[in-house]
Amino acid sequence: MTDRSILIRNVYVMLAYAFRTIHSEGNDRIAAERFDHLHDLLAEILVRGVGAQVKRGVHRDYLHRSDEIATVRGRIDVTRTIATRSATRGRLVCDFDEYEADTPHNRALKSVIVLLIRHSEVSAARKGALRRLLPYLDAVTLVAPTSIRWDALTYHRANASYRLLLGVCELIVRGLLPTHDCGTSKLTSWVSDDVMSTLYERFLREYYTVHHPELSPGAPTVGWDLDEPGGNSLQLPLMRTDVTLRSGGRTLIIDAKYYSHTMQTGAWGKATVHSTNLYQVFSYVKNEDTRRDGSVSGLLLYARTGAVEQPDLDVVIQGNRIGARTLDLNSPWNDVRAQLEEVAGWLDS
């Protein structure tokens, strides 16, 4: 497999952008540290983030409870009280809300902290720091990490600080799969391409949201430019963009690609841009350019690998600018940022 390494420090920056905490307190301290393993970085984010959360107070919420109790609380469940004969014991079955810390957010945190403590590649010092956090989560139920419904976790002003923490937790669970070996739990596989691909897309989108809100960054769906709407058009697949930027009547559609190989090799050994990727972005561009004036451009932006040949395409096809290039995530952050600014410059040319 072709090497596609990323500076560990840049992974943190990507996470901070992707989960909208780039301006959070403590970012500079973590970004300035050296980490030999990605797992140590993820553990350190949890150590500092959960530690700070404990000082502010862990997330609490009103959770629904139904229990047999001696005094009236909330609403009496008459049917269950009669069915269980609770009244004969001087008790009532009541439905009520309890303001407590055993929320889905804290369950996810506790479960992943335990998972990291069992990981052999996390340093002993950080394992100790993670263990010292567990007593603050004693009232929280430990659940299987694979049972956590990440898409069901919601955020608002009161728990916005959990966004990065649980984003890291999700990355750990989805990318570092647990297996059992001799009775101990280990995390054996590195972060998968699917997980990093999702992080890569979110990072790109949030980078432009933070630094270029004037470009209206988003990920809209491109509609099919049909000659006659209707018919069987509902069977057409959706064209979901990764990042779309707009400025002065011009549009740039960026298709983020995180692959082990950034180019394909033909029968004669010639390296070319992945044909399916090129067809995809070209289709997006032509259907978006409904005015047929060439105001829409498309760019395949690959995470750079260690291969000798890399995508470097910049052509005009049927009036629309189409390109393919790489983003070197293994270079210093200032260089990464300069590359991203060059991409935004496509709207000016």
User: For 207-232, b where at least 16 C-beta lie within 10 A, e where not — what string?
Assistant: bbbebbeebebebeebeeeeeeeeee
- Domains of the chain: residue spans and CATH: 35-60+102-190 (no CATH), 63-100 (no CATH), 195-348 (3.40.1350)
pLDDT tens over the chain, length 349 residues: 344 456 666 777 888 888 776 555 555 556 556 666 677 888 888 998 898 889 888 888 877 778 887 787 778 888 887 888 777 788 888 887 777 888 999 999 999 999 888 876 788 899 999 999 999 999 899 999 889 998 889 888 888 888 888 988 888 887 654 433 333 333 434 456 677 788 899 999 999 999 999 999 999 999 999 988 777 888 899 999 999 999 999 999 999 998 878 888 877 778 899 999 999 999 999 999 999 999 999 999 998 888 888 999 999 999 999 999 999 988 888 899 999 999 999 998 7
**Paired strand residues for 250:** 247
pLDDT at 317: 96
pTM: 0.73
How far apart, in Å, are the Cα atoms of 188 and each of 121, 173, 179? 10, 12, 7
DSSP state for residue 218 in the 8-state scheme = B
User: What distance in Å separates the CA atoms of residue 255 and residue 52, rounded to the nearest whole number?
Assistant: 37
